[in-house]
Chain A
Amino acid sequence: MEYVIVVLIPIFMIFAFIVEWLERKFVARMQSRIGPLVTGPKGFLQPLADFLKLMSKEEITPTGADKLLLTIIPILQASLVTFSLMFIPIFSPEPILSYPGDLIFIIGLSAIFATLIVLTGYVTPSPYAIVGSARYAELTISFEISYVLSIASAALIAGSTIIADIARFQTVYGPIFIYAPLGFVIMLISTMAKTERVPFDIAEAETEIAGGWQVELSGRRLAFYRLSMDLELLLAISLCVALYLGGGYGPFVDVFGPIMYFVWFLVKLIILVFIVSLVEAIMARYRIDHVLRGFWKAITPLAVLQALLAVIVRAYIL
């Protein structure tokens, strides 16, 4: 298992870079731009080039910052997200790590990820970083309930807290998306808020608070934060695919095996990245009070309703 994990880490990194490239390309085309073009075919290697460039840049620790924490946090963030990815059945129906309750474990890990972002602003001596991290804390408190309830809805319908089992359940009963479309939409919206995608990028808000909690990050720290956010997007969308779209299951999986499974997973993942990019391209950033009001007054009650409907679906329909 140890060897598989060592091999999987760089694969997940490459996968995250591909997702970033796809997202940048989609957004660019929708805004009548070309997007990444120079590095590699069609600019395919641009995210990797960005990562390597930042890794080779000099790191600056501003006066008054907590150097130790600023070093540990990016490593921990990248590790937590990669660890969570090991539980998602991306490359085969059986993920490398799986046990009863792994879905809840992943939710706990993603909560730690959010806390680490808040902590980054706290250990940086910049007013912009403080405002950014406070904004992220407010955002977290508002979207987490709906995010968790949308995940719980899928788990309630499938009657399992094992991600691989929930994906397998959908081979018999069809995608959970059919039974809980509201939960799927809520999960996608919450995913965008979680990964700070437009229109929920209020914690970064370059034009208002100059990048928020990231403002004092440079060099390898910034490289790791960007990598973590790419991995987080990959994780959140992969989880959405596994819980609501039947993972990599689809036609011809029985015939061609894991290769076809991965192809189906990739197709579904690309469709979701496209939807996220579409929303990103056509919307402007919300004001923080609008986001909080929207989540607390509209999306969270709908998520509660969806969870109740999921219980009814499980009890009377399936």
Chain B
Amino acid sequence: MVTFWDLAIAFIIIVVFFAILYSLGKGERKGKKREALLPFVSGEKYHPMRVPYRIKWIYYVSLFTAFETAGLLVLLAFGAGVLIVLPLIYILIILLALLLAPKE
């Protein structure tokens, strides 16, 4: 049986491994022409600026996936009897996150 620290150490090892591998790749060269740094727009006229994006999408996806995991937890916990308390606490935390999430 693994402990929380085993999981944490395993994840850190993996992140460090991939960070080292990433650093071995070729980086960015300084002094590139302005044209080379423009985003791809298929010949259209477009200023290099961040598109006004609705951040709500990321909230929707994040909350949806969190609820979905919680839903699964509840579904499976029904068969486990007393363990139902834990998923309910989990859902409560997500609901709190939903309430505290910044409004657009």
Contacts and interface: CB of A to CB of B under 8 A. Distances in A.
Interface band, chain B: 35 or more
Interface band, chain A: 35 or more
Contacts of A283: none
A97 B7 contact: yes
22 contacts: A1-B10, A5-B10, A55-B25, A58-B26, A60-B28, A75-B15, A79-B15, A83-B10, A83-B14, A97-B7, A97-B10, A99-B2, A108-B65, A108-B69, A115-B65, A122-B53, A125-B49, A133-B57, A155-B76, A156-B79, A210-B42, A224-B18
Contact of B71 (A2, A65, A148, A223): A148
Given A86-B10, A148-B69, 9 more contacts: A58-B26, A60-B37, A62-B37, A75-B22, A83-B14, A98-B2, A108-B69, A122-B55, A125-B49
Contact of A156 (B49, B62, B76): B76
B48 A125 contact: yes
B29 interface: yes
B52 to A, nearest CB: 9
B75 A141 contact: no
B61 A126 contact: no
B35 to A, nearest CB: 10
A55 B11 contact: no
Interface in A177-229: 210, 215-216, 219-220, 223-224
